[in-house]
Structure 1
Amino acid sequence: MQCLQDQEALIPQPRGALPKGCAAAAAATTIGCIAFLSPEGLFGWVAMVILILTLGPLLHGLCLLAEEMLYHSNTRYRGRGLLSRVLPACGLGGKTLLAAGLAGLLLYLAGQPLPHKGQCWKLLSLASVLYALFKSLGVLGPAEVEVSDICEGRKMNVAHGLAWSFYLGYLRLVLPRLEDSITAFCATHQSCSPFWSRGSRRLLILIPINANISHKLENEDSNIRFYDNLPNNEIDRAGVRGRVYKHSVYIVLDEHGKGHECTVEYATPLLTLYNMSQESGAGFGEPERRQQVLLFYRTLQDILEHSLECRNRYKLILLNDELQEDPHFLSKAILRHLQQQEKEEFCLTPPPHQEMGHPFECTPTAPPRANPINHSEPMSREPTLMLSLDKPQPLKGPVENTDNYQ
């Protein structure tokens, strides 16, 4: 089982702007070297290269536009929004058109860098059509990293949809009611611990990286025992009157045999990821499943951290149970998180301080003092709020206390 401090090493972080910085540095270095070695015709060469790089995507966008306008304008765009939707969808955006226009203007002003006039236009036309051909054949298709970056940036992954569905359709409904359910459960079960720690009053959500979920926790670990279910929460949902939501209470035994009650369950959307990886038609292999599980964990964590309804009512436990032979790794992981949450608790109000009189107060040899000194009181303490029961008095009026001499 991975330690708590090592969990962050498993979660993929959002991709940054390092490729842009590397590309900008390489372009600046190359242009600087060319300008130093042969500055003649530099602007013409730069303009022609920019035209080659922009005319190719524009020509490929026109090919895509023909398909969209002939067969998909009504079904995908409802016959409207040509300029606002279809053109940007085909890659004919304003940035590409602006770059091509500025490059053409720069080439016209700087002059053609090639000795013969027709060579420049032949190079531009050949580069554009060959780019469109190779792009359509998939030779110049986006890399897997680029596709992943686009899907993560636009929240288009399967994990993003499952995380939002799990939050909006389940966690946001049940977590605000969890505290009341545990209180009602403790009132009706005399055998359970009369005082649950603050950590055990949270819903522990297990997220195994391999997405292989057992429907009964006791089958995974013999130190985990099912105790009972919390009172049902009935919520009217999507036309179903009194839809039932429930949580299960488990007793987790530590190494000394002491039981710890807690509400724990797996994240049910992981069943969807696991079943998708078992279906050949889903096109979802084991590496993709692992990546989606980690993205699910990161997305759900970000969602819950910004949710006021769910704050301090949950705990996500990432289980790296690959290549683990410990039969009690699950119970140890749960106990480790419970102990960590109990250590993070702190008392908002200090315990009542027992006042002690002066040791020499009211003795036959020493008369009582008006204000005895309490030596047991610490030199400094937490500030307290003092309220006065006296009625508010009116503000004192101005008093003339100066003398004017002629």
Structure 2
Amino acid sequence: MQCHRDQDALIPKPRGTLPKKCAAVLVAITVVCIMFLSPEWSFERVAMVILSLTLGPLLHGLCLLAEEMLYHSNTRYQGRGLLSHVVPACGLEIKTLLTAGMAGLLLYLDEQPLNNQGEGWKDLILASALHALFKSLGFLGPSEVEVSDICEGRKMNVAHGLAWSFYLGYLQLVLPRLENSIASFQSSHQLNGSSWGRGSKKLLILIPLNANISHKLEDEDNNIHFYDNLPNSEIDRAGVRGRVYKHSVYRVVGEDGKARECVVEYATPLLTLYKMSQESSAGFGEPERRQQVLIFFRTLQNILEQSLECRNRYTLILLNDERQDDPHFLSKAILTHLQQQEKEEFCVTPPPKPDMVNPLANTSSVQPSVFRVNGRWQQPEPLSREPTIMISLEKPLPLKEPVENSEH
């Protein structure tokens, strides 16, 4: 499982709820310390702080609402309802309004008014107005971590769209046909099973971290040689009759000199990420590109794991660009995944060892059971054989009718 561990060490995991837990612990510690240091502390101060924290975002939401209603209500919202779409989009959510209302109600019901109440309300209004100003100017904007968390949580990254497009527009169409194409290719080229193992009957999808894709694999590694193309798959797609989809077969030579055939190709959406990082108008640098490649890999992996049409028909190979000093890194990575599939996915039950004999075979009191079939004596088949499906040739019998057996 070395390959999977290397990939898991590179792929970023979804962000969790640790910031919320830390914030809750921080608030609890702060409240305990204030109650210990200030016995005269009251819940009215908490209500004032909550109101100041919620009133500022509400005022900023009203500023956003003025812009949306005057200039964007028709173009961005197509005349949809004010309360159902425009108001929530400006941050005027129900939970914020309820929090501010509860804080105001707590202040109204408190029997002990806040000292210097007039000064307190002035500070509250001034802080809320300044919050709206600083928020509009971008001084209190979300951090890069918050923006990344929002984009990943709402599937708004470039990588999310590219992964879904790659799956819906390509993999979902070609992977169900891949097994028949490989079988037809083997029969036409008379390939034996030694060079074309069961692990090679999948589409190997290469995903380099630097998104720099070569159009010919032999240019990257001279141990990889183009062999032939699989039979074309023609699918009617988007008004094009018989659109052609094809895959290429390569021969990968290992360090032992043995060659293995496999169907391998790069993930073509990575070309888009690489080209975007080369365009200054895209605002897409190298660090952002690397992060998007990792998100693309994770998103595509999650999509394919949930797809019944594509299950067990693909292998995603994440290539670390930090190890490109080896001229045969690509061929080694491909062969490692092929060998790993052979060992882990298909050799589930190891073959019986020759020294494992029945301890009762040499005893004189126990003899192997035999039976007579068509005039010949035969021994039963070993219990370790592969399970088979037994089909009965007898006609199904009807269900019995219920019989009344109660006594009155």
Q: Decide: shared fold, TM above 0.5.
A: yes
Shift of 1:321: 2.0
**What is the identity, as a one-letter code, of the residue corresponding to 2:227?**
Y
Which residue number in structure 1 is paired with residue 192 of structure 2? 193
Shift of 1:123: 1.0
1:183 has 2:183 as partner: yes
Shift of 1:35: 2.3
Checking the alignment, whether the CA contact within 8 Å between 1:15 and 1:149 is kept in structure 2 is yes
SS at match of 2:235: strand
1:135 has 2:174 as partner: no
Deviations 1:1-54 (A, max 9, x none): x84422101000000000000001111111122223324342011000000000
Shift of 1:257: 1.3
Which residue number in structure 1 is paired with residue 354 of structure 2? none
Shift of 1:227: 0.4
Percent of residue pairs bearing the same amino acid type: 75
Deviations 1:142-193 (A, max 9, x none): 0100000000000000000000000000000000000111111112113x33
Pair 1:340–1:129, CA change in 2 (3 A): same
Pair 1:388–1:269, CA change in 2 (3 A): closer
CA distance in 2, matches of 1:140, 1:133: 9
**What is the identity, as a one-letter code, of the residue corresponding to 1:209?**
L
Pair 1:395–1:119, CA change in 2 (3 A): closer
Pair 1:225–1:131, CA change in 2 (3 A): same
Checking the alignment, whether the CA contact within 8 Å between 1:201 and 1:263 is kept in structure 2 is yes
Pair 1:6–1:194, CA change in 2 (3 A): closer
**What is the identity, as a one-letter code, of the residue corresponding to 1:33?**
C
**What is the identity, as a one-letter code, of the residue corresponding to 2:174?**
V
Name the TM-score, length of structure 2 as normaliser.
Answer: 0.87
Checking the alignment, whether the CA contact within 8 Å between 1:198 and 1:345 is kept in structure 2 is no
Deviations 1:379-404 (A, max 9, x none): x8777766665667899999xxxxxx
Pair 1:158–1:390, CA change in 2 (3 A): closer
1:267 has 2:267 as partner: yes
Checking the alignment, whether the CA contact within 8 Å between 1:206 and 1:318 is kept in structure 2 is yes
Pair 1:38–1:166, CA change in 2 (3 A): same
Which residue number in structure 2 is paired with residue 252 of structure 1? 252
1:212 has 2:219 as partner: no
CA distance in 2, matches of 1:307, 1:349: 27
SS at match of 2:325: coil
SS at match of 1:49: helix
**What is the identity, as a one-letter code, of the residue corresponding to 2:52?**
I
Which residue number in structure 1 is paired with residue 11 of structure 2? 11
Pair 1:123–1:169, CA change in 2 (3 A): same
Q: Which moved more, 1:235-244 or 1:289-298?
A: 235-244
Pair 1:238–1:225, CA change in 2 (3 A): same
CA distance in 1, matches of 2:371, 2:284: 83
Checking the alignment, whether the CA contact within 8 Å between 2:370 and 2:379 is kept in structure 1 is no
Shift of 1:324: 2.9
Deviations 1:114-146 (A, max 9, x none): 422211110110110010011011110001000
SS at match of 1:276: helix
**What is the identity, as a one-letter code, of the residue corresponding to 2:192?**
S
CA distance in 1, matches of 2:129, 2:223: 67
CA distance in 2, matches of 1:137, 1:95: 25
Which residue number in structure 2 is paired with residue 403 of structure 1? none
Shift of 1:78: 1.2
CA distance in 1, matches of 2:189, 2:370: 55
User: Structure 1 regions of 5+ residues with no counterpart?
Assistant: 361-365, 399-406
The Cα RMSD (Å) is 3.0
User: Structure 2 regions of 5+ residues with no counterpart?
Assistant: 352-357, 403-408
Checking the alignment, whether the CA contact within 8 Å between 2:34 and 2:41 is kept in structure 1 is no
**What is the identity, as a one-letter code, of the residue corresponding to 1:132?**
A
SS at match of 1:91: coil
Which residue number in structure 2 is paired with residue 229 of structure 1? 229
Q: Which moved more, 1:41-50 or 1:143-152?
A: 41-50
**What is the identity, as a one-letter code, of the residue corresponding to 1:106?**
L
Which residue number in structure 1 is paired with residue 118 of structure 2? 118
**What is the identity, as a one-letter code, of the residue corresponding to 2:62?**
L
Q: Which moved more, 1:205-214 or 1:382-391?
A: 382-391
* Alignment of structure 1 residues 307-318 onto 2, 5 Å: 307-318=307-318
**What is the identity, as a one-letter code, of the residue corresponding to 1:131?**
H
Which residue number in structure 1 is paired with residue 283 of structure 2? 283
SS at match of 1:322: helix
CA distance in 2, matches of 1:114, 1:342: 75
**What is the identity, as a one-letter code, of the residue corresponding to 2:262?**
C
Checking the alignment, whether the CA contact within 8 Å between 2:164 and 2:300 is kept in structure 1 is yes
Checking the alignment, whether the CA contact within 8 Å between 1:186 and 1:194 is kept in structure 2 is no
Pair 1:246–1:113, CA change in 2 (3 A): farther
CA distance in 2, matches of 1:135, 1:397: 78
Checking the alignment, whether the CA contact within 8 Å between 1:204 and 1:265 is kept in structure 2 is yes
Checking the alignment, whether the CA contact within 8 Å between 1:232 and 1:246 is kept in structure 2 is yes
Shift of 1:81: 1.4
Pair 1:228–1:54, CA change in 2 (3 A): same
Which residue number in structure 1 is paired with residue 321 of structure 2? 321
CA distance in 2, matches of 1:375, 1:78: 77
Shift of 1:376: 10
Shift of 1:374: 6.5
SS at match of 2:69: helix
Checking the alignment, whether the CA contact within 8 Å between 1:274 and 1:289 is kept in structure 2 is yes
